[in-house]
Amino acid sequence: MASKVVYSPRDPMLKKRDDFEDVLEERRRSGDLRYALRCYSPVLYKGPTTSKASELKTMVLQSDQLHYVVNQVSRESGVPLDDVQAEASVILEEMAHRLQLSTVRFFAFTLSKVFKAIFRSICVNEEGVQRLQQVVQEHPVVLLPSHRSYMDFLLMSYLMYTYDLPLPAIAAGMDFMGMKVVGEMLRMSGAFFIRRSFGGDKLYWAVFSEYVKTILRNGFAPLEFFLEGTRSRTSKSLTPKLGLLNIAMDPFLKGEVFDVSLVPVSISYERVLEETLYARELLGVPKPKESTSGLFKARRVLSEDYGSIHVYFGPPVSVRSLAEGRVNRSQFSLTPRHIPRRPSEDVHSFVNDAAYRLVRAQEENMVLKPWVLLASLLLQNQGAGQNRGVPLDELIQQAVWLRDLCRQFGAFLHWPDQIPSSEVVSSSLSLHGGLVRVSEDRVYLALEQEPHCSLTAEEELLSQAVVVLSCASYRNQVLHVFLRPALLAAAIHTASSSQKQEVYSSFLFLRNMFSNEFILCPGAAVQDFEEACYLLTKVGALHINQHEVLTAERGHRTLAFLTSILDPFLQGYQMVCSFLCEDATQALTERRFVPAVRAFIIKHLLKGRLRYPEVLSSDLQRNALAALLRLGAVQKVQGGEESGTLKVNRVMLNSLEDTLGGRLSTQKALRAHL
Amino acid sequence: MASNSCGGGSDRQMAAQHRLSVIAGHLQRPSGSNTAVLAAECKGQGSKPFVSSENRTVPRRRQEIMKWNGWGYSDSKFVYNKKGQAEFTGKRYKLSGMIIPGLKDWMENTFGATLQHKAAATPALNSSAVPPPTLNEAFVEELKSTGVPFSADAEDRVFRAHGHCLHEIFALREGKIGRVPDMVVWPNCHSDVVKIVELACKHNVCLIPYGGGTSVSSALECPPEETRSIISLDTSQMNRILWIDEKNLTAHIEAGIIGQDLENLLNESGYCTGHEPDSMEFSSLGGWVATRASGMKKNIYGNIEDLVIRIKMVTPQGVIEKSCQGPRMSTGPDIHHFIMGSEGTLGVITEVTMKIRPVPEYQKYGSVVFPNFEQGVACLREVARQRCAPASIRLMDNEQFKFGHALKPQVSSIFTSFLDGLKKFYITKFKGFDPNRLCVATLLFEGNREKVLQHEKQVYDIAAKFGGLAAGEDNGQRGYMLTFVIAYLRDLGMDYFVIGESFETSVPWDRVLDICRNVKARIIHECKDKGVQFPPLSTCRVTQTYDAGACVYFYFAFNYRGLSDPVHVYEQVEHAAREEILANGGSLSHHHGVGKLRKEWMREAVSSVGMGMLQSVKDYVDPNNIFGSRNLL
C-alpha cells in the first residue's frame, strides 16, 4: 500500500537548471558564409575511431553478426550465399549515410539564413553543451532529442556544428527518401534511412542493427534517434519505442564498450511550424507524402514569426549506471555474441524502464512559454461553455495564479519576471494571432470563420476543432507538470469516500487507464501517488493524514483546475467506450475504428452532448483503444475469416465507462477487471 | 644426464640454468641439523627417501629468513639509497645489488608517490599484541606423546595467520593482529599427519593446513568466529622426493616441498616437473594441488591437474588415494577433482606422484613488440589456433611495458645505452609505433636446439603478420625475471603510500580485449568514485593461452594519501573489478582459487546444484568441520 513506501520527494522548485545562450545573436553579428566555411574540428572519441563512411560499411559487411545471418538466410531460403550477401550490400547502400562536410557547410549557411528569418532566438544551455563535449571524448554517445517538428534534426546538427561537436549519425524514416534531392542532402549531412516496417526481415534487421552498433562501438559519431519514433502531433510525449534503444544498449550489455552515454535533449518551440498541419492530420486529413515541392511551398513560412526555440541538453545518463543491479550481464557470455537473440525478460523490462525515464527527462527539461498557460486557461473557459471569451484582465490574473502554481510544481517555465504580466500576456497572444483574437478587451479562441454560406454544420465543427486542437497541443506541453496531481484530483472526485485507500485505488484505476495517453513510468504507481500527494499538500490544496485525503478550504480552485485539465480525456475515453458498446458492428476492424468513432463523436458534438471538440483527435481515440485492448475490454481476433476484427466485451466496457464517469466505485470496478 | 648432454657451451642454456640457480643456489641453509633427527624419527617411512632433503629452503622458524610482514626473503627488498635512487638489496637475484635509475621517476609519475611521503611499517612484531593461544590441553598432551614438534610461540603463530592479500600485509605493517592459529605443528611425514588428524578429530580442534603461505585468496585467514583451538599444520618439513621412476617418468614426492627445492632436487637427477608458477620460490606442491595451480610453462608440461598421477590425502574419514598409477581411468568422476581445488577444507595432501621430464636441452627467451594491444592479442590468438605456443608466451599492455622499462637496471656501458636508444628510435620513429600504445610479448622456448629454432621462426612469422617486431632476448628474459621481483615491489610501494594487488581470470578468446578494456576502465572509474586522489595504475597482461581462451592478469595500485580507510577503498575497488570480470564473461579464478575472498560468487559460478554437490562431499568427508578454514563453500 502506498503509505508504506517511503517517498522522499525533492522539492521540485529546487531543481537545478542551466542558463541559456542565444546562438542566433552571434549569427546576426557576423557573416554566414564565413561561419559556414570556418574551420570545423570537433572533439573526438578517445578510443580508436574510424572516420570514413566507406570503412564503416566494410566493417558492417564483414562482421561476424552479418555473416551469421547471411548464412542462416541462405540456408533457410535456398538462395545462394553470394546473392544474399549482395542483397545485404544493397540494403546497406540504401541505409547508410555519406557524411560530407561540404553539404554540412551548405546547411550551415542556409539554415542560418532561415533561422534568422523565422526565429527570434535559438537558446541553448551551454553548460549542457560543455558536458556533451566532455562525454563525447569518454564514451560513445547517443543523442535523444524530443520530436515535435521536422526541424528537430536539422537543428540538432546545426548546433553540433556550431559548438564544434562531432556531427551525429541520425536515424531517419525512409519516407524522406521520397524527396529525392533533399533525401540525398540529408544523407550527406549524416542521416541514415530505415524502412518504417521490416517485421520479419531477418537480413534487414541484421544489417540495420549491425550498422548502428558499428557506429557506436567505433566511436564513429554520436548516434541520434528519436525515442518517440515519430513526431508528436499533439506535443505530448509519445510512448517510447524500444527497438533502437535496445540496439544502442547492446554494445554495453555485451561488454563491447565500457559505457554508453545517453543524452536526452529537449527542444521546445514557442510556435511549432507544423501547428495546424498536425491538427488537420489528427482530424483525419491524411498526412501529405513528403515531397520536395511540398517543402518549397512552405516558403511562405519564411515570412512568419515563430518566436524562439529552447534546446536543453540534459545531463548524460550512463547506461552502465542504469544497468547496475538491474541486468546480469554475464548472461551474454554463454552464447556467442554474434548470434542474434531476443532480449530476455529482464533486459526488456530494463530497456523499457530506461526509455520511460529518458522521455520523462526530456519532458522535465522542456521549456514552457507563458502562452502554454494561456492556452490551458482559454481551453478550459471554452470547455466550460463560455464561448464569449474571457476578459483580458481576468485572463491575466488567472495566468499569474497558474504561473505560481506551475512554479511550485517545479515546471521549467520561462516567464520573464522583469516585464509586467499584462505585457507578457499580450505579447504571447499576439504571437499566436492565428489561434486567438482580442477584441474589446476580451480574449476569444479564433473559432469564428468568415461567414461561408456553403459550410455544413459538420465542416464548421471541424474547422473549429482545428483551432481547438492547435491550442490543445500547447496546453499538452504543460500536462506532464500537472498530470500526477491531476490524476489525484480526479481520483478524489470519483472516489466514493475520502479514505486514503479508496482514493489510491481510484488513482490507480485512472493511472492504469491513461498509461497509453501519458508518460507514466511502469511500476512507479506508488511514487506517482506520493508525489501527487506531496505536491498538493505543499500548495495547501489537500490535507493528508494516515487514513484520509481531505480537500483544504483554499484548495478548491487548484483542484477544479486540475480536474478540468483532465476532463477532455476522461470524456473522450468514455465516448470511445460508449461507441464500442452502442455502435460497434460485427465487422469493426482496427483500421476502420478511427473513422467510425470520429463519426460517432461528431454526432454527439453536434447534438451538444459533448463539449470538447478535441475528443475528435485520432491520437486520443487510438490511445483509448490501445488501453482497452491492454485491459482486455476489447480483443483483436487472430486468424480465421474475421482476422483483425475487434471483439468487444460489453459488460466490461460499460463498467469502465461508468467508473470513468464516477458512477461506479473503482473498488468494485477493480474487483471486476483486475 | 640430459642437462650435461648438450655440450653446455650455449649462453642461452646458461641463462636458463642461471635462473634456477638464482632461485636456489644462493640460499642460506637453515642452521642446525634437525633434518636428520626428524627424518630418523619418522618410522612410518618404509624405505629411505630416494633424494635426501638436506638442501631444504624452509626452516621451521620461517621468520629467520623471511619477512614477517612482507614478501620473500628478509635480505631482499627495494630501497631508496642515500642518493635517492632505487636499489634492490641482497645477493639472491640477478637484480640484487643493482641500481634501478628509472624507478623513482616512474613511481612519481605514475602514482604521485614521492620520497617525502613515507609510510613506515611497524618494524617488529609486538608479541603482546598477539592474543594468547587457546589450547586444547588434552590434544596437546596426546600430541606430545607422538613426538611431532609443535609451538605456541607468537611469532610462529602470526607467520601462519596470513597469506599475501593486500589487507593481510597492510594489517601486519600496521601491527594489527587478528585471530591467529593457537598452535603450529610440523609433521615430518604422512603417518605424522594421520596421527595429528586423528587427534584433531578426537579432541575436536580445527586444522588449517599451511604449505608455502603464498595464498592470495584469504584462504589462510583464521575464521574469527572459530571458538575451537586452531592448529596450523605446517607441511614444510615433509619435503623429500621419496622415489623417482625413470621408466615411467614419475616421481613420488612429499607434498610440503616447495617449488624451487623440487626443481633443484630433480635437476640433480636430470629431471624437472616443468611446473613453474610465479610463486615457485615459496609455494608448495600440496598448495598447488589444493588450489589447482597453473605454471608458466603449462603449454609444454600442463597445469597441475595434468601433472599429477596419484594423490594421497589424509581426511577425518581416513586416507583417500587411488589404487593404481594408470595414466588415465574411467572409474566414475575422478576423485582427484574433489581434492584438487579443495583449498584445505577436506584434508591434508601428504604425498603426490607426478610426472617428470628430462631437463630440456635448450632454452631461449624472446620478445616481440606490437604496435598496439589489439594486434598483440590477435597474434596470441593465432598462435593458440595453430597450437604452436612456446613454453611461455605473455603479452603485456602498454602500461606494463613502461613499468618494465622503469625497472631496467643501470646500464654499465655507453655502448648498451647507445644500442637501447637506437632500438627505441627504430621502433618509434622508423616503424611508427606510438610509444603510448605499443605493447610487448615475452616468449620462452624450450626443447632440443633445432626444434626450438624452428619453433621460434614459426612464432616470429605469425607475429610479423600482426605487425610484431622481434625485440630481442634480453627484453624477454628481463620480463620473466621481473615476475619474481615484482612481488617485492609492492613492499616498496607500501613504504610510500602506494597499495596494490594483482588478480587473474580466464576468459574466452573473443572476450579478451573487451574484458581487458572494461576491467581496467572500471578500476579507474571506481577509484575516482571512491575518492582516490591520484590516478591509479590499472594494467593487464595475457599470461596463458588455451585452445578456447586465455588467462588474463590485472595489476592495480594507487596512492592512498588522503584516504582515511585505504584498505576498505581498495577492497571495494577489487570487488567491483571482480564483478566486472564476471559480467564480461571471465571466470571467478584461473588459478588463485576462491578462498574466503571470492566465496560470495561461488554459487553464481557453479550453480546451486554444484554447491550442493561440493557441500555433500564436505559433509561426508569432514562432518565436524575439523578442516575449518571455511574456504570455498
- Encode pLDDT of B99-152 as tens digits: 999 899 999 999 998 888 998 888 888 888 899 999 999 999 999 999 999 999
Report pLDDT digits (tens) over B521-565. Answer: 999 999 999 999 999 999 999 999 999 999 999 999 999 999 999
Nearest-neighbour CA in chain B from A324: distance (Å): 11
* Mean pLDDT of the A51-69 span: 90
Spatial contact of B282 and B72, defined as CB atoms under 8 Å apart:
yes
Spatial distance between the Cα atoms of B381 and B386, rounded to a whole number of angstroms: 9
Nearest-neighbour CA in chain A from B531: distance (Å): 18
Spatial distance between the Cα atoms of B247 and A57, rounded to a whole number of angstroms: 62
Catalytic residue among B73, B365, B553, B555: B553
pLDDT at A587: 77
Nearest-neighbour CA in chain B from A337: distance (Å): 9
Inter-chain CB proximity A330 and B582 less than 8 Å: yes
Spatial distance between the Cα atoms of A384 and B192, rounded to a whole number of angstroms: 99
- Minimal Cα distance from A256: which residue of B? B514
Report pLDDT digits (tens) over A301-330. Answer: 667 888 999 999 999 999 999 999 999 999
Residue to test with chain B: of A135, A252, A327, A333, most B Cβ within 10 A:
A333
Handedness of CA B165, B168, B171, B172 (dihedral sign): negative
pLDDT at A619: 94
Split at pLDDT 50, 70, 90, the class of A495 is confident
Spatial CB neighbours of B416, under 8 Å, sequence gap ≥ 6: none
Q: Read off the amino acid at residue A515.
A: S
Spatial contact of B510 and B550, defined as CB atoms under 8 Å apart:
no
Nearest-neighbour CA in chain A from B382: distance (Å): 17
H-run or E-run covering A337 = none
Split at pLDDT 50, 70, 90, the class of A672 is very low
Of the candidates A160, A192, A193, which has an alpha carbon nearest to the alpha carbon of residue A175?
Answer: A193
- Minimal Cα distance from A336: which residue of B? B510
CB-count exposure of residue A389 (10 Å: 0-12, 13-18, 19+):
buried
Alpha helices (runs of H) in A438-521, residue ranges in sequence order? 457-494, 500-513
Which of B508, B511, B521 has the CB atom closest to A258's CB atom?
Answer: B521
Spatial distance between the Cα atoms of B627 and B612, rounded to a whole number of angstroms: 18
Spatial distance between the Cα atoms of B456 and B451, rounded to a whole number of angstroms: 8
Residue B8: pLDDT above 60?
no
Split at pLDDT 50, 70, 90, the class of B422 is low
As given in the structure block, the three cell numbers for residue B170 are 597492510
* Mean pLDDT of the B243-265 span: 96
Q: Which residues of B touch A140 (CB under 8 A)?
A: none
* Mean pLDDT of the A318-343 span: 93
Split at pLDDT 50, 70, 90, the class of B94 is confident
A543: β partners: A550
Alpha helices (runs of H) in A193-254, residue ranges in sequence order? 202-217, 243-253
As given in the structure block, the three cell numbers for residue B122 are 611497524
- DSSP per-residue codes, B436-489: TT-EEEEEEEEE-HHHHHHHHHHHHHHHHHTT-EE--HHHHHHHHHHHHHHHHH
Q: Which residues of A touch B374 (CB under 8 A)?
A: 48
As given in the structure block, the three cell numbers for residue A343 are 532480449
- Say whether A52 sits in a helix, a strand or coil: coil
To the nearest whole number, what is the mean pLDDT of chain B? 89
Chain A contact present for B575, CB below 8 A: no
- Span between the terminal Cα atoms of chain B, in Å: 47
Handedness of CA A432, A434, A436, A439 (dihedral sign): positive
- Minimal Cα distance from A323: which residue of B? B583
Spatial contact of B54 and B35, defined as CB atoms under 8 Å apart:
yes
pLDDT at B28: 38
H-run or E-run covering A219 = none
As given in the structure block, the three cell numbers for residue A10 are 525533492
- Span between the terminal Cα atoms of chain A, in Å: 16
Spatial distance between the Cα atoms of A116 and A508, rounded to a whole number of angstroms: 47
- DSSP per-residue codes, A99-113: --HHHHHHHHHHHHH
DSSP E strands in B277-431: the ranges are 308-315, 318-320, 348-355, 357-358, 362-370, 392-396
DSSP E strands in B322-415: the ranges are 348-355, 357-358, 362-370, 392-396
- Minimal Cα distance from B507: which residue of A? A333
pLDDT at B27: 40
- Say whether B125 sits in a helix, a strand or coil: coil
Spatial contact of A458 and A598, defined as CB atoms under 8 Å apart:
no
Contacts of B86-89 with C-beta under 8 Å, sequence gap 24+, read B86/B492, B88/B485, B88/B488
Split at pLDDT 50, 70, 90, the class of B31 is very low
As given in the structure block, the three cell numbers for residue B511 are 572476450
Residue B307: pLDDT above 80?
yes
Interface of A with B in 229-268 (CB under 8 A): 255-256, 258-259
Handedness of CA B513, B518, B521, B527 (dihedral sign): negative
Q: Which residues of A touch B584 (CB under 8 A)?
A: 255, 329-330, 333
As given in the structure block, the three cell numbers for residue B487 are 612481488
Inter-chain CB proximity B508 and A333 less than 8 Å: yes
pLDDT at B428: 73
Spatial CB neighbours of B248, under 8 Å, sequence gap ≥ 6: B325
Nearest-neighbour CA in chain A from B398: distance (Å): 15
Inter-chain CB proximity A333 and B585 less than 8 Å: yes
Spatial CB neighbours of B175, under 8 Å, sequence gap ≥ 6: B122, B125, B126, B129
Spatial contact of A627 and A510, defined as CB atoms under 8 Å apart:
no
Chain B contact present for A332, CB below 8 A: yes
Spatial distance between the Cα atoms of B84 and A360, rounded to a whole number of angstroms: 59
Question: Of all residues in chain B, what percent carry a pLDDT higher than 70?
Answer: 90
Of the candidates A43, A272, A21, which has an alpha carbon nearest to the alpha carbon of residue A146?
Answer: A272
As given in the structure block, the three cell numbers for residue B249 are 617418468
Spatial contact of A378 and A445, defined as CB atoms under 8 Å apart:
yes
ipTM rounded to 2 decimals: 0.86
Flag the least confident range among A29-43, A161-175, B38-52, B420-434. B38-52
- Say whether A480 sits in a helix, a strand or coil: helix
Report pLDDT digits (tens) over B33-63. Answer: 344 344 445 654 445 555 554 557 789 999 9
pLDDT at A4: 39
Of the candidates A116, A287, A142, which has an alpha carbon nearest to the alpha carbon of residue A223?
Answer: A142
* Mean pLDDT of the B479-505 span: 91
As given in the structure block, the three cell numbers for residue A391 are 476578459
pLDDT at B513: 96
H-run or E-run covering B501 = strand B498-508
* Mean pLDDT of the B72-97 span: 91
Q: How far is CA A362 from CA A309, A323, B2, B451, in A?
A: 15, 20, 76, 67
Spatial contact of A436 and A403, defined as CB atoms under 8 Å apart:
no
Spatial distance between the Cα atoms of A135 and A144, rounded to a whole number of angstroms: 14
Chain A contact present for B508, CB below 8 A: yes
Spatial distance between the Cα atoms of A323 and B482, rounded to a whole number of angstroms: 39
B313: β partners: B320, B349
Chain A contact present for B434, CB below 8 A: no
Inter-chain CB proximity A255 and B585 less than 8 Å: yes
Of the candidates A155, A127, A100, A94, which has an alpha carbon nearest to the alpha carbon of residue A19?
Answer: A127
Flag the least confident range among A281-285, A393-397, B306-310. A281-285
Q: Which residues of B touch A336 (CB under 8 A)?
A: 510
Chain B contact present for A49, CB below 8 A: no
Does the annotation mark B365 as catalytic? no
Residue A5: pLDDT above 80?
no
As given in the structure block, the three cell numbers for residue A61 are 559487411
Spatial distance between the Cα atoms of B114 and B214, rounded to a whole number of angstroms: 29
Inter-chain CB proximity B514 and A256 less than 8 Å: yes
Report pLDDT digits (tens) over B348-373. Answer: 999 999 999 999 999 999 999 999 99
Query: Within 13 Å, how many C-alpha atoms sit on residue B16's CB side?
Result: 25
Residue to test with chain A: of B514, B515, B524, B603, most A Cβ within 10 A:
B514
pLDDT at B44: 46
A261: β partners: A141, A318
Nearest-neighbour CA in chain A from B546: distance (Å): 18
Phi/psi at A296 (5° precision): -70, -30
Handedness of CA A133, A138, A142, A145 (dihedral sign): negative
Spatial contact of A572 and A612, defined as CB atoms under 8 Å apart:
yes
pLDDT at A673: 47
A vs B: CB pairs below 8 A: 30
Inter-chain CB proximity B585 and A258 less than 8 Å: no
H-run or E-run covering A68 = helix A64-77
Nearest-neighbour CA in chain B from A259: distance (Å): 9
Question: Of all residues in chain A, what percent carry a pLDDT higher than 70?
Answer: 90
Which of B374, B508, B583 has the CB atom closest to A329's CB atom?
Answer: B583
Inter-chain CB proximity A255 and B522 less than 8 Å: no
* Mean pLDDT of the B381-393 span: 96
Which of A256, A330, A337 has the CB atom closest to B583's CB atom?
Answer: A330
Q: Which residues of A touch B523 (CB under 8 A)?
A: none
pLDDT at A439: 84
Spatial distance between the Cα atoms of B309 and B356, rounded to a whole number of angstroms: 11
- DSSP per-residue codes, B523-548: HHHHHHHTT-SSPPEEEEEEEEE-SS
pLDDT at B48: 53
Residue A610: pLDDT above 70?
yes
The response to whether B213 counts as a known ligand-binding position is: yes
Report pLDDT digits (tens) over A389-440. Answer: 889 999 999 999 999 999 999 999 999 989 999 999 999 999 998 889 888 8
Report pLDDT digits (tens) over A122-149. Answer: 999 999 999 999 999 999 999 999 999 8
- Say whether B567 sits in a helix, a strand or coil: helix
